[in-house]
Amino acid sequence: MLVKVASALNLGLHTVAMEVEVNVAQRGLPAFEIVGLPTKAVAESKERVRTAIINSDIKFPERRIVVNLAPADVPKQGSFYDLPIAVGILATVIGCKLPERSLFFGELSLDGTLRHTKGALLLALFAKERGVNNIFVPHSSANEASIIKGVNVYPVESLTQLVLFFCKQIDFKPVTHKENDSKEEVSEAEFDMSDVLGQEQTKRTMEIAAGGGHNLFMIGSPGSGKTMLARAFPGILPSLSEKESLEVTKIYSASGRIPPQGSVIKTRPFCTPHHTTSNAGLIGGGSRLKPGEISLAHRGVLFLDEFNEFSRLALESLRQPLEDGCITLCRSRDKATFPSRFTLIASANPCPCGYLLHPKKTCICTQREIERYRKKISGPILDRIDLCVEVPVVDIKELSCDDKAPDFLESSKVIRERIIMARKIQQKRFSSETIYTNAEMGNKQIKKYCYLSREVSQILIKAGANFNLSARSYYKMIRVARTISDLEGVKEISASHMAEALQYRSCEKNENVHF
């Protein structure tokens, strides 16, 4: 007897339909075979299915069972075939009819219950697209799948429950989506901005970076507080919009990072890969294409500490994702596109020994060493970083004695409010465009949305001559000035906005090192 069970297969963020054909033959020696290019995890599925069925007190048919995973030419990975295979066998054992237009998806435990399985959200999206009414997913993944409205999501706890439902012995209701506690909406940062003493300029640069989604490069000696500042950064980020949060949740679902009973992700991701991270780990890849850190940081922040220590290959592969906001990975068998619209925060020492800018310690690097160190970050990468700031070493004694200091310490909450306002202005500005933030503006959009008065362009021209600005950095300055004016809530870019933007140009040319 042949039973066909519908399921689906996630390839990257893309889902394709799949059919599990289960044939329990009347003749032949008892056997259990899975065909259709199963990988190890899938092939082992037969032991899980057999044991789970037996442990659910259901008789396992002692016949020749052949399972075909169609289409047969796509390699099958993952453990979510357990449920469709088991359902197919159960259907022949019990002889009941399966509900129509349904997808089955999930991993079995040996006791017959179902385990949390990754990619449930993608399955629900696929079901909605294809007009499939019902999906059966593990209980703990059901909340994640039910984010998508218009699909009945059945939270399956065990095989027994499912059999009883097929035989119409029990009532089984689809789950309704339950939001997680909403206090998570504000990103929980390790530090508050007011915890950081001094560093006014760096904090201001971070505010601009968050305000307009600009990439930021911090240069400073060890101990100047770069890492602490970066860790305070999530606290000033606005929460994700509904559209953005679905984009992020999809990626997290595909890579199995949504916890059991998890719901949609509302806080902006903050990823901090170590500098020894492999290229595939950073940009995504592997033999089964997986999203890398840049995609996990989508709509959030990718913090690369010790930027110069990353491998040259890893740094250079950031170019295209930084420019396009997505990455397309191709292998001989697979191809996947992952979104990667993140804000890059990079930090580095000014020289190999680290003490070039230090007020007390002496730098022992030669000019050549410093140049070699800085050359590791190529022009094209620097071109894509709008803001650059030098983080000085702060004398704590001096700061804590200063009575005036507390006046300067704004909390993350206050800064965040200004950023939310600036982002709202940008949302309105770009409502007819495909971009969200000032940092994404191309030359065309700059011309359209950034009117420069005579006075302002005079400053820019003069700066171009005095500071050796390249044509590309002209546009950087304008983008940054646009964000500064948005933070102030002013429509037009004023001279002081442009003048302030010039402060953050220093990675342009290493003015410190050359003449």
Interaction site with other proteins (CB under 8 A): 198-201, 203-204, 356-357, 362-363, 366-368, 371, 390, 392, 394, 402, 404-405, 408, 459, 462-463, 466, 484, 495-497, 499-500, 502-503, 511-512, 515
Please, what is the minimum distance in Å from the beta carbon of residue 260 to other proteins? 46
Distance CA 69, CA 104 (A): 13
Task: Classify residue 359 as exposed, middle or buried by CB count within 10 Å of its CB (0-12, 13-18, 19+).
Answer: exposed
Alpha helices (H) in 288-389, listed in sequence order: 293-296, 312-316, 319-324, 367-375, 379-383
Number of residues written out for the chain:
515
Q: Which is nearer to other proteins, 187 or 485 (CB)?
A: 485
> How far apart are CB 182 and other proteins at their closest, in Å?
33
Distance CA 163, CA 182 (A): 37
Dist. CA 171–CA 151, nearest whole Å? 18
Least separation in angstroms between residue 204's CB and other proteins is 5
Rounded to 5 degrees, φ, ψ at 284 are 100, 160
At residue 142, the 3 state secondary structure works out as: helix
Q: Which is nearer to other proteins, 196 or 318 (CB)?
A: 196
At 150, is the secondary structure helix, strand, or coil?
coil
The whole-angstrom separation of Cα 139 and Cα 317 is 39
Least distance from other proteins to the Cβ atom of residue 139, Å? 53
Q: Which is nearer to other proteins, 75 or 464 (CB)?
A: 464
- C-alpha span between 200 and 402 (Å, rounded): 14
Q: 185 vs 200, which CB is nearer to other proteins?
A: 200
Q: Tell me whether residue 137 or residue 469 sits nearer to other proteins (CB atom).
A: 469
**How large is the C-alpha radius of gyration of the chain?**
28
Nearer to other proteins (CB atom), residue 432 or residue 466: 466
Q: What is the closest distance, in whole angstroms, from the C-beta atom of residue 495 to other proteins in the complex?
A: 8
Shortest Å distance, C-beta 140 to other proteins: 48
**Peptide bond just before 84 cis, omega within 30 deg:** no
Q: How far is the CB of 380 from other proteins (least distance, A)?
A: 21
Say if CB 43 and CB 54 are below 8 A apart: no
How far apart (Å, rounded) are the C-alpha atoms in residues 53 and 50? 5
Min CB(397)–other proteins separation in Å: 13
**CB nearer to other proteins: pick between 265 and 484:** 484
Sheet of 134-138: strand order equals 102-104, 134-138, 152-156
* Angle at alpha carbon of residue 209, lines to 273 and 447, rounded to 5°: 125
Q: Which is nearer to other proteins, 183 or 515 (CB)?
A: 515
